Each structure stands twice: as structure tokens, then as C-alpha cells.
Amino acid sequence: MRTVSTLAAIVALSLPLAAHAGKAHVHGVMALNIALDGAVLSVQLDTPQDSLVGHERRPKPGNETTAAAAVLSLLRDAPRWLKPDTAAGCTAGTVTVVPGKLEGAPKPGEKDTGHADVEASVEWRCQTPAALKGVDVLLFDAFSRVERIDVQVAGGSGPAKQTLRKTSRRVVLAR
């Protein structure tokens, strides 16, 4: 039954991301979806590439390529940008990153114009889920272009929306 409820939470959280992807994205605004199901904390991040590196094209050789690699390295290391409460004993699993135009060669016929989004997702396993009261989001420290993070939380006492800003970086997980 837990698999069904985890899957339902992930599907419910994916809908806002899909809706976000269909609309014109807003530079400086990230979307963060968090689902809590028992000992599993699932997190999905969706952001315009511009919010990370200041452009939505493939990086130019040199400094831009180095900066893109650093961004992807940070996103692939979830504990560097997300801190669940220490008392919960959460351990990050494998992070999946969809790199937008930050990595890889262009596909044949691909134009290097238009919008590009970067996505990251990770599941955390928590030893003491009852101690998980919140998650600190450290993305503002790494990306000065980020002005706001729109958060949707599923689990605990039901769905909730929160908005994080540079001065308010904690997602509260209601139980």
C-alpha cells in the first residue's frame, strides 16, 4: 500500500511541474515539490536555466562551461542544497538531473534559442521521520539570480503551498 501512496504523492506533485513547464517560465523563480510518505522524503526541483547561470543557451567554452559543470555538480549533491532536520537522520539517494542546455552536445537541427529548464529530483530515506519538521533550502546561497522558490508540499496533514525568499528559506512540513 505504501508504494501506491508514494506513487500517488509523486504523481500529484508532478502535475504542478507539468503545468509550470507548459507556461512561460519566470526567470528568478524556481518550483520545488516535496512529498513526505512515511520514511521517504521525495523532492523535485524545476528552474529556468537562466536562474542558475544567466542564460538559456549552451555554455560557451571556457568560464561558462566551467560554471555549468559546477551548477550540475551542486545539483547532483543534494545535501549541498537541501538540509532536512538533522534529528530525522535522512540520507539522500541518487539525484536525477535533467540538465537543460548545460550539458551535452546539441541535437541535430537544434536551435540554441528559446527557453531551457533544469530539473533535479531525489528521494531521502529518514531513520526518524517523526523528527522531520522542516527542510532548509540552500539554493539562494548558490544562485544569486533566484528571487523566489514556490513550494508545494504533499503528505503530513495534506497539501500545502509555501513561498521561500532569500530571508525565509525553510520549508515547514506540517504533520
Q: Read off the pLDDT band of 118 (50, 70, 90).
A: very high
Of 1 and 98, more confident: 98
Q: Read off the pLDDT band of 175 (50, 70, 90).
A: low
pLDDT in tens, 61-98: 999 999 999 999 999 999 999 999 999 999 999 999 99
H or E stretch covering 69 = helix 63-75
Distance CA 144, CA 149 (A): 13
Give the three-state DSSP class for 68.
helix
pLDDT in tens, 10-35: 444 444 444 444 455 677 899 999 99
Report the predicted TM-score, pTM, of the whole model to 2 decimal places: 0.82
pLDDT of 58 over the 70 cut:
yes
> What pLDDT is recorded for position 165?
96
pLDDT of 116 over the 70 cut:
yes
> What pLDDT is recorded for position 104?
81
> What pLDDT is recorded for position 158?
60
Average pLDDT over residues 118-123: 97
Contact indicator for 44, 13 with CB cutoff of 8 Å: yes
Residues 6+ apart with CB under 8 A from 102: 49, 52, 53, 58, 59, 68, 71, 72, 116, 118
pLDDT in tens, 129-158: 999 999 999 999 999 999 999 999 997 666
**Structural domains in the chain (count):** 1
Question: For residue 82, how many other CB atoms are within 10 A of its CB?
Answer: 24
Distance CA 64, CA 57 (A): 10
Per-residue b/e over 32-54, b at no fewer than 16 CB within 10 Å? Answer: bbbbbbebbbbbbbbbbbbbbbe
Q: Which residues pair with 161 in a beta bridge?
A: 152
Contact indicator for 135, 170 with CB cutoff of 8 Å: yes
Of 13 and 99, more confident: 99
Q: Which domain holds residue 67?
A: 2-172
CA 111 to chain centroid = 26
